[in-house]
Amino acid sequence: MTRLASFDDLVKRRGEIAAGRGPNRATLVLGDGTCGRASGSSEVRAALSEAISSLDTEKRLAFRTTGCHGFCQIEPNVQVLPDETLYVHVKPENAQSIVDAALSGKVLKNLTFKDGQKNSCAKITDVPFYKRQMRLLSGLNVYVDPLRIEDYIAIDGYQALAKALFTMTPDFVVEEVIKANLRGRGGGGFPAGWKWDSVRKAEGETKYVVCNADEGDPGAYMDRSLLEGNPHLVIEGMLIGAFAIGSHEGYVYVRNEYPLAVQNLNVALDQAREHGLLGKNILGSGFDFDIRINRGGGAFVCGESSALMQSIEGRPGEPIPKYVHMSERGLYDKPTNLNNVETWANVPFIVNRGADWYRTIGTEGSKGTKIFSLVGNINNTGQVEVPMGISLREIVEGIGGGIPNRRKFKAVQTGGPSGGCLPADCLDVPVDFDQLTKLGSMMGSGGMIVMDEDSCMVDVARYFTNFLVEESCGKCVPCREGVMQLRDILNDITQGRGREGDVELMEDLSKVVIDCSLCALGQSAPNPLLTTIRYFRDEYVAHIHDKKCPARRCTALISLRIDAENCTGCALCKKQCPTVAIAGEKKKTHAIDPEKCIRCGACYEVCKFDAVIKE
Amino acid sequence: MELDTARIDGFIARYGLHRGALIQVLQDIQGEFNYLPREALEYVSEKLGTPLAVTYNVATFYNVFSLQPKGQNHICVCMGTACHVRGAQSILDKFRRELKIDVGETTDDLKYSLDKVACLGACALGPIVVENVTYHAHMKLDKVGKLLKRGGRK
Amino acid sequence: MNFKEHTLTIDGRSITVKRDTLLIEACKKLRIEVPTLCHNENLKPYGVCRFCQVEVNEGKRTRLVPSCVYEIRKDGLTVTTDSERIRNNRKWLIQLLLARCDRQKDVLDFAAKYGVAPVERLTKKNDDCILCGQCVRACGEIVGVGAIGYERRGEKREVTSPYRDQNPVCIACGTCVYVCPTHCIAMTEENGVRTISRYAGEKKMVVREAKMLTCGKCGNYFLPSSVAEVFAKKMGIDPTVFTCPSCR
């Protein structure tokens, strides 16, 4: 019988699962999340399945497909447990040798990760990317096939829920979460325990628990990795929260752009229900709770809590001015507790190991770990989980491995469109909820986009401001009109039409947008612009005064020409040119006609001889 | 066009007959028909007891919905920050030039439609272009033409 | 029932109000005029024009809140309705509207009233609608038919009828025309037909063309038959018995 009807049943089931797995069993683990599939993991999966199926080794060698393992750069990747061997850039043709090596306890040197000095890092713990991380939450992905609840139960899954239901009172659970100082991981950093407490104490029988999986910050995908890879962790967190608050209905609002997360979450919810871990009379405790999934419609603004709830209610995602807290009047005007995916995922750890243990990680004001999405112009791209308080430099250089192609670090953008760009001088700042805010940026949901010297900071400001114009709901004057005007001026500046006084005008207008906007989208919209003015003012001066783009990025302010010395006349650039602006005979120096050139950069990208010069 | 109301009733049944179901039902319709036919919006409005003006507002507010059919090959260029710093804008511009349509439009022969998306969450592999359900990672300007040629042959 | 009251100070003057009173109403009771463009006493508060923002000190900190949506639920609030900060914000909000509706008379008059001149550097748009939403809200909340609504979002947001076509649920009552502060919805009557329309971009968008009812006594047109039907249904009578105001 699948259904678990007591704490004992859960413990027994865990034992049965462990017994069914040979103690010396090796496991091949393939990362098969969205990143994996985009890199070709589906073909590797098929090849490995075939290679293993031809062996009679269910007890000696197992094969597990999972979500993200974090080091997205090197996908498709296969780990061999329990040895913790890591194979990178795996191809289908490697499948047989990987299987053979696992069975004979060997390591395939040609597939291991090579560090900067070309040393082979066979074990995960040797890999610089993983060495300095503390993969408390994300590390579990390797042990769990998201489509098999047995895997989650095997690693003490739902133990925290049982502990809460049968050995704790709701009040005690809330107190533990307050004591742990779990702060919201979605960007706000508000103490989750206080929120839970307000909702618990609010009047009314019907209360809602909501998970914000909208994750709109471009460049941030921590929540996707968690939901795709270990949906049960989030479900368990919500169950514990619901128990503590006194809620029986929950929603997970997932953005539409994450189809695999929706799929895996659906399967997990069904399996949890089958096992008596969700729905009526959970584990025989008498507590009822169930979860519904709402897909977003493609709107960044729906990450804002009031807009999210409007969306669940079937309306356009327009934030509403709220001076009465969500904890009193939220979804359908009922007390509602909304938390981010990563916040919920921390809860089972706090209940299992206690608030005192949790407080040993992180800084005074920021406890626990944080998952960051380290992307952009960086060597080691991926999902990084570290204790809070670690410095930006450690993340960018120690874990990220610095900037590729021998370029120099210029800035790191944190906090998404509500955050800002910090220069090299700020690299030693500890990363937590409060330190980055002092510098004008914010930690936000965890997006960390590294930019090298080829990035134009004025263009970055223009990019974010334009993004916000497109995502604004358009209801209130300061955001709809104000951010749009900022975008138009930035367009002018990047296209060579900047005027004296533009920077001062944008600074003045920004203050009004921050002061008067209805919601946090508008209130934080000028942040990218203001931080780039604060730290990179000279670039604005160059664009406006000299009509030059120092990073040679803004197409209207650069020109492309071919260097006769390096040009071999291979005509690759001529083939790519969309406006037939390049002329030249075979094996003879080519030339660009500046009148026809639209500076799309195709020639620059395709030239193998560094013969195209950007000026 | 003959509207398959039974199909739509099926979608509504999944979520329950209440206004809160509107967006989920519209998503199922978009998934099924590749756009939101006017008759479908009118039918859903009536069923759920919502004024057509409100349903129309929802249909035009969210990026995922389109009132015009999407092309056979729906191309989405990721314009997330990580993809942007790796040159996504010039890739989008190339698609616009090659297909001779702008973002949000469909070619006359209904073969291609072009859209941009804020972030797909696969930033390690940027610039990324999604063609229907296929992810094309590490996109380069010279790969654009190849992608379009392959799509045409289908 | 909860008849709790709260006492607060607005611009140095004390007042006691029922709990959940809107701050703008409390100001009105003290005859303090707070400018608004989207507020309408007959409609649910919307809070989008941001002109009614005032400074509120709740004890720990001072913050700007839109007085049309802020409910009084605490004792001892200190409110300031006029300050350098508020005036600067309002000046900019007007300048943003001047850029959007650079030729619209009502907006120009509003700017002149506050002595605000346009900012030349801003992008100009010859729009006539300030998106206060009163028309949409009135049609939905008071008339109850919801014939018009919003289309799209952000800078592309507009008030339209669905598909910019005539909407049969519109009864051509003209409520939207009356509430509009910039008079950008037109109502015309010609040859026994009342037309409600406005411009959408360069094109005229007709929301409804409704046949007018003739007076049983004098034979003049006086009311769209669609409106007469609504009243007749509510009163349970035949709509053709209606007579025009002069003949009553």
User: Which string of DSSP letters, residue by residue, matches A23-41?
Assistant: TT-EEEEEE-SHHHHHHTH
How many Å lie between the alpha carbon of A35 and the closest alpha carbon of chain B? 5
- Please provide the DSSP assignment of A276-314 as one string: TSSBSSGGGSS--BEEEEEE--S-GGGGSHHHHHHHHTT
Q: Do C49 and A501 touch (CB under 8 A)?
A: no
Residues A300 and B81: their CA atoms lie apart, in Å, by: 14
Residue among A576, A221, A234 at smallest CA distance from A374: A221
Six-digit token pair at A154? 């095997």
Q: Which one of B61, B97, B134, B135 would you mutate to disrupt binding with A, by most A Cβ within 10 Å of its Cβ?
A: B61
A25 in the Ramachandran plot: left (φ > 0), alpha (ψ -120 to 50) or beta?
Answer: beta
Which ipTM score applies to this complex? 0.94
Please tell me if residue A216 touches chain B, with a CB cutoff of 8 Å.
yes
Residues A439 and A531: their CA atoms lie apart, in Å, by: 9
Q: What integer pLDDT is reported at residue A408 of this predicted model?
A: 95
pLDDT at residue A548 greater than cutoff 70: yes
For A486, the enclosing helix (H) or strand (E) is helix A484-494
- pTM for the full predicted model: 0.94
Residues A89 and A87: their CA atoms lie apart, in Å, by: 7
CB of B113 closer than 8 Å to CB of B105: yes
Please tell me if residue B38 touches chain C, with a CB cutoff of 8 Å.
yes
How many Å lie between the alpha carbon of B48 and the closest alpha carbon of chain C? 14
Please tell me if residue C150 touches chain B, with a CB cutoff of 8 Å.
yes
CB of C230 closer than 8 Å to CB of C189: no
B100 φ, ψ (degrees, to nearest 5): 60, 30
Q: Which residues of B touch C162 (CB under 8 A)?
A: 41, 52-53, 55-56
Q: Would you call C13 exposed, middle or buried from its count of C-beta atoms within 10 A (0-12, 13-18, 19+)?
A: exposed
A586 in the Ramachandran plot: left (φ > 0), alpha (ψ -120 to 50) or beta?
Answer: beta
Task: Give the lowest-confidence range in A465-474, C9-18, C195-204.
Answer: C195-204
Q: Do B97 and A578 touch (CB under 8 A)?
A: yes
pLDDT at residue C3 greater than cutoff 80: no
Residue-wise pLDDT for A419-448, tens only, equals: 999 999 999 999 999 999 999 899 999 999
What is the radius of gyration, based on Cα positions, of chain B? 17
How many Å lie between the alpha carbon of B105 and the closest alpha carbon of chain C? 16
* DSSP 3-state of A411: strand
Six-digit token pair at A101? 């090596």
Q: CB C193: neighbour CB atoms within 10 A?
A: 15
Q: What integer pLDDT is reported at residue A57 of this predicted model?
A: 55
| Contacting subunits of A (3+ beta carbon pairs below 8 A) | B, C
Residues C136 and C158: their CA atoms lie apart, in Å, by: 11
**Band of pLDDT at residue A56, cut at 50, 70 and 90:** low
Window 546-585 of A: residues touching B by CB (8 A cutoff) are 576, 578
Q: Would you call C219 exposed, middle or buried from its count of C-beta atoms within 10 A (0-12, 13-18, 19+)?
A: exposed
* DSSP 3-state of B38: helix
How many Å lie between the alpha carbon of A288 and the closest alpha carbon of chain C? 33
- Length of chain C in terms of residues written: 248
Cis link prior to A319 (omega < 30° from 0)? no
* DSSP 3-state of B126: coil
Q: What integer pLDDT is reported at residue A547 of this predicted model?
A: 95
Please tell me if residue B51 touches chain C, with a CB cutoff of 8 Å.
yes
Residue-wise pLDDT for C117-142, tens only, equals: 999 999 999 999 999 999 999 999 99
Q: Do C155 and A474 touch (CB under 8 A)?
A: yes
pLDDT at residue B96 greater than cutoff 80: yes
pLDDT at residue A449 greater than cutoff 50: yes
Nearest to B90 among A257, A313, A601 (CB): A601
Q: Which one of C136, C142, C151, C156 would you mutate to disrupt binding with B, by most B Cβ within 10 Å of its Cβ?
A: C151
Q: Do B27 and A297 touch (CB under 8 A)?
A: yes
User: How far is residue A317 from each of residues A304, B115, B125, C179, measured CA to CA in Å?
Assistant: 9, 21, 30, 25
Nearest to C154 among A321, A480, A517 (CB): A480
Residues A60 and A57: their CA atoms lie apart, in Å, by: 5
* 3-state DSSP helix/strand/coil % of chain A, to nearest 5: 45, 15, 40
Q: Which one of A516, A517, A519, A544 would you mutate to disrupt binding with C, by most C Cβ within 10 Å of its Cβ?
A: A516
Chain C residues in contact with chain A using a Cβ-Cβ cutoff of 8 Å: 45, 47-50, 53, 64-66, 69-71, 73, 85, 88-89, 92-93, 96-97, 99-100, 119, 121-123, 130-131, 133, 150, 152-157
The order of strands in the sheet holding A382-387 is A382-387, A369-376, A447-452, A409-414, A420-423
